Amino acid sequence: MKIAIIGAGFSGLAMAWHFLQSAPNPQITLFDAKGIGGGASGLAAGLLHPFSGAHAKLNWMGREGMASTLKLLKAAAAFAGEELYQQNGILRPAVDEDQVKDYRQCAEKYPETCWLDVQEVQKRVKGIAPFPALWIQDGVAVDCPRYLQALWAICAAAGGEFFPVAIQRLDELKEYDCVVVAAGAALINYPEFQHIALKPLKGQILLLEWPKQVPPLPFPVNSYMYLVMDRSRTLCWAGSTFERNALSEAPDMETAKALILPDVFKLIPDLAHVPVRQCLAGMRAVTSDHKPLYGRFGDKLWGITGLGSKGLLYHAYCAEQLVKEILDTL
């Protein structure tokens, strides 16, 4: 079975992995002009838990998605022989009355979470402002670029091929038995998908220097924005913006700083004067109901998109379901 996958981000690589696990003698070829993890997936914060979103409600298929992603994470880490993630928990500070109400309800309803008072929060995170918080005890911090590279390494070792080129028209791939478009927001650039109500959502992140007088965060902090330490523990990623009407995918540091930094300073006052090292940007895809969209779109043509800011949570689960659907059809 010859399978072409357009897109080498979360969804495309998960599709390739699941095909290799399930299909008989598959020949997998990936295409992505931006490279492995070169799009929005490679910029993801790496926060894995099933209570994302403003209200910290249990996400649609959240537990199933987390279990599926952990399965791929473990496989990628074992193959790479290195640590790609840490399951040390995630802290969600409640900085206003709405968050206090929503986060308390979450803590009361779901055993994976609990409510922490101000004293306990400040005990766990030095330098944080006096806010109570929702504690997600099984929350995972993922090094997304390294995870994506390791996932591709598994596929390459099994005979998968990758070409860093753009596919302009889908009829270029007519010799394949199955074509899967996993190109995120770029999926609607193909006429076969232009009927889909898909909205692009620009996300920008900032790389900040971490103050020497403040201990590095022991785990990610996520309120109206997130803070995630990088591998060096001397820098910190802050994000993300949710820009619905952006005309360009290019980074715009001034806009990113205006949208991100006020919430950062509110949470960690000592970050108020640290230098901003870098700004990165990517384009996500969002459906009208904010749920992933995957299925058949034509003869030998399939698509997966609409994961939005929850790509890490949903990519493995949705890819597994779509691969099953494709193999049942073929």
Task: Please give the biggest Cα pair distance in the chain.
Answer: 63
Count other Cβ atoms within 10 Å, centred on residue 89: 18
Which pair of structure tokens corresponds to residue 122? 């400040």
> Which CATH number does the domain housing residue 18 bear?
3.40.50.720
**Residues 121, 181: one domain?**
no
Cβ neighbours of residue 215 closer than 8 Å, sequence gap 6 or more: 126, 127
**Residues 78, 161: one domain?**
yes
- pLDDT above 90 for 330: no
Domain count, the chain: 3
Banded pLDDT at 143 (limits 50, 70, 90): very high
Cis before 240 (ω within 30)? yes
Q: Which DSSP symbol is given to 76? A: H
Query: pTM of the full predicted structure?
Result: 0.96
Count other Cβ atoms within 10 Å, centred on residue 164: 13
> Which CATH number does the domain housing residue 253 bear?
3.30.9.10
**Residues 146, 70: one domain?**
yes
19-77 pLDDT tens trace:
999 989 999 999 999 999 999 999 999 999 999 999 999 999 999 999 999 999 999 99
Torsion over CA: 8, 10, 11, 13 (sign)? positive
- pLDDT above 90 for 164: yes
**Residues 150, 52: one domain?**
yes
166-223 pLDDT tens trace:
999 999 999 999 999 999 999 999 999 999 999 999 999 999 999 999 999 999 999 9
The three-point CA angle 155-156-160 to 5° equals 80
Banded pLDDT at 119 (limits 50, 70, 90): very high
**Residue 114's domain spans which residues?**
90-137
* Cα separation, 50 vs 69, whole angstroms: 11
**Residues 49, 187: one domain?**
yes
pLDDT of residue 34: 96
Torsion over CA: 278, 279, 280, 286 (sign)? positive
- For residue 307, the Cα-to-chain-centroid distance in whole angstroms is 8
